[in-house]
């Protein structure tokens, strides 16, 4: 019987010990606490980005193609990976381990596709001359204000840090899920559910990174294309 | 019940529900991309995008991460503390606006101090 199922059988008063006040096992609670702390890491980074953006002239250089097209397809991949993951957890709850493994492999496929697309997108920007601490020369020319204030060179630093840390989370998640998929017969349902929690969290973070980093940096007037 | 007997775990939510959540998330993402190309003040854009992101995050947490089906005590332990900590991080913003004011040059020449009155 899993920890969760056992938890349901404890009629003791919640806060007198020996009970499961949250009705979840300690590993699942641990993953939730990790998710809370990691949310704060990403929040701090995104707020740091907003701080810099509000206090500087900020370039908005992303064209529809490749940046927005790639990032939208990447969003689609991550959302779909969350759906396949939830199907995997659902299959595992019915005791269908083979089904769970199949869906987890589908999740890994979408995760790896996300990373590949993201690296191609990074490569576009790097080949254009964007670096963590300086901007391509033509971006500086286009986005310098009429008062002669140049755009902040920290655009690249915030972009590469935030998307890079997120990509690292996706990559670690893919390895984690691979281990779970290969050992699915030995693992309990709760373990598979916990790996799902981590994966959905990675998807959740992207729901903030995508609009704040990509959508807010669209070159609406096509300044760079001119 | 033997140790190896199959135990069905409780996992609320049907596949149909999960697909409908996925469709909603995709629709909200399409709205965001559409908004990117609408000319509007950056404050409006930021407010709308953050609003949509919070809705998307809530859908993912509630249904995909199954929080809606967990015990209320778990939700109350996790969510308010996180929200309050994130809100506290916004304490830095007045400084951000202050440094923006320091950085930009004034277009107009600063007013000249009046000449001291001549002594009789």
Distance between start and end Cα atoms, chain A: 66
Q: What is the pLDDT of residue B96?
A: 87
Pairwise CB contact (< 8 Å): A86 & B82:
no
What value, to the nearest 5°, has the Cα angle with vertex A216 and ends A214 and A219? 85
Using CA coordinates, name the residue in chain B closest to A86: B64
Q: What is the DSSP code (8-state) at residue A187?
A: S
What is the mean pLDDT of the segment spanning A89-99? 95
pTM given for the model: 0.87
Residue A149: what pLDDT? 85
Low-confidence ranges of chain B (pLDDT < 50): 1-5, 110
Closest CB to A211 among B32, B39, B96? B32
Q: Which helix (H) or strand (E) holds A104?
A: helix A97-128
Return the pLDDT at B3.
41
Q: What is the pLDDT of residues A30-77, one digit of tens each?
A: 999 999 999 999 999 999 999 999 999 999 999 999 999 999 999 999
Residue A93, pLDDT > 50, answer: yes
Nearest to B18 among A2, A23, A83 (CB): A83
- In a domain, residue A226? The reply is no
Give the CATH number for residue A24.
1.20.120.80
Q: In whole angstroms, what is the distance from residue A207 CA to residue B34 CA?
A: 16
Dist CA A201 CA B82 (whole Å): 14
Q: CA-CA distance, A8 to A2, in Å (whole number)?
A: 10
Residue A29 in any domain: the answer is yes
- A224 falls within a domain: no
The pLDDT of residue B5 is 44
Is the per-residue pLDDT at A160 higher than 50?
A: yes
- Point out the residue among B49, B82, B100 whose CB comes nearest to the CB of A54: B100
Residue in B66, B61, B60, B64 with CA at minimum distance from that of residue B79: B61
Q: Among all residues of chain A, which has the CA nearest to that of B69?
A: A23
Q: How confident is the model at residue A192 (pLDDT cuts 50, 70, 90)?
A: very high
Q: The domain containing residue A47 runs over which residues? A: 3-217
The verdict on a CB contact (< 8 Å) between A215 and B32 is: yes
The set of residues, in sequence order, having a beta carbon less than 8 Å from that of A155 and lying 6+ positions away, is A58, A59, A61, A130, A135, A217
Q: Is A147 on the interface with B (CB under 8 A)?
A: yes
Q: Is A225 a member of any domain?
A: no
In this prediction the ipTM stands at 0.89
d(CA A37, CA A48): 17
Smallest CA–CA separation between B53 and chain A, in Å? Answer: 6
Q: How many domains in chain A?
A: 1
What confidence score (pLDDT) does residue B7 get?
Answer: 55
Compute the average pLDDT of residues A163-187: 97
- pLDDT of res. B1: 38
Q: Mean of the pLDDT values across residues A158-177?
A: 98
**Domain assignment present for A222:** no
Q: Which site among A32, A202, A207 would you substitute to test the B interface, given the most B Cβ atoms closer than 10 Å to its Cβ? A: A207
DSSP string for A8-67: HT--S-GGGSSS-TTSS-HHHHHHHHHHHHHHHHHHHHHHHHHHHHHHS-----B-IIII
Mean pLDDT of A176-184: 97
- Among B residues 57-86, those touching chain A with beta carbons less than 8 Å apart: 57, 60-61, 63-66, 70-71, 73-74, 77-78, 81-82, 85-86
pLDDT, chain A, mean = 91
pLDDT at B115: 66
Residue A7's pLDDT band (boundaries 50, 70, 90)?
A: low
């Amino acid at each position: 019987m899993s920890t969760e199922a056992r938890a349901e059988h404890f009629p003791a008063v919640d806060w007198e010990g020996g009970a499961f006040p949250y009705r979840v096992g300690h590993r699942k609670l641990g993953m939730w606490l990790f998710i809370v702390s990691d949310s704060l890491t990403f929040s701090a980074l995104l707020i740091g980005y907003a701080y810099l953006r509000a206090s500087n002239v900020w370039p908005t250089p992303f064209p529809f193609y490749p940046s927005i097209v790639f990032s939208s397809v990447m969003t689609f991949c991550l959302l779909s990976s969350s759906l396949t993951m939830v199907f995997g957890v659902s299959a595992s709850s019915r005791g269908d381990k083979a089904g769970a493994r199949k869906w987890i492999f589908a999740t890994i496929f979408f995760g790896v596709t996300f990373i590949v697309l993201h690296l191609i997108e990074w490569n576009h920007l790097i080949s254009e001359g964007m670096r963590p601490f300086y901007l391509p020369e033509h971006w500086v020319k286009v986005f310098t204000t009429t008062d002669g204030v140049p755009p902040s060179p920290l655009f690249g630093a915030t972009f590469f840090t935030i998307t890079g840390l997120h990509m690292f989370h996706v990559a670690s998640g893919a390895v984690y899920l691979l281990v779970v998929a290969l050992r699915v017969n030995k693992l309990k349902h709760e373990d598979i559910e916990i790996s799902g929690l981590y994966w959905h969290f990675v998807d959740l973070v992207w729901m903030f990174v995508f609009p704040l980093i990509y959508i807010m940096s669209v070159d609406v007037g096509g300044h760079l294309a001119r | 019940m033997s140790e190896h007997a199959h135990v069905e775990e409780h996992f609320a939510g049907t596949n149909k529900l999960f697909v409908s959540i996925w469709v909603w998330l995709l629709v909200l993402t399409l709205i965001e991309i559409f908004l990117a190309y609408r000319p509007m003040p950056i404050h409006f854009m930021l407010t709308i995008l953050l609003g949509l992101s919070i809705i998307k995050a809530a859908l993912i947490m509630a249904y995909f991460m199954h929080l809606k089906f967990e015990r209320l005590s778990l939700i109350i332990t996790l969510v308010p503390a996180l929200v309050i900590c994130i809100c506290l991080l916004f304490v830095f913003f007045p400084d951000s606006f202050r440094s923006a004011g320091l950085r930009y040059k004034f277009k107009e020449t600063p007013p000249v101090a009046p000449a001291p009155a001549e002594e009789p």
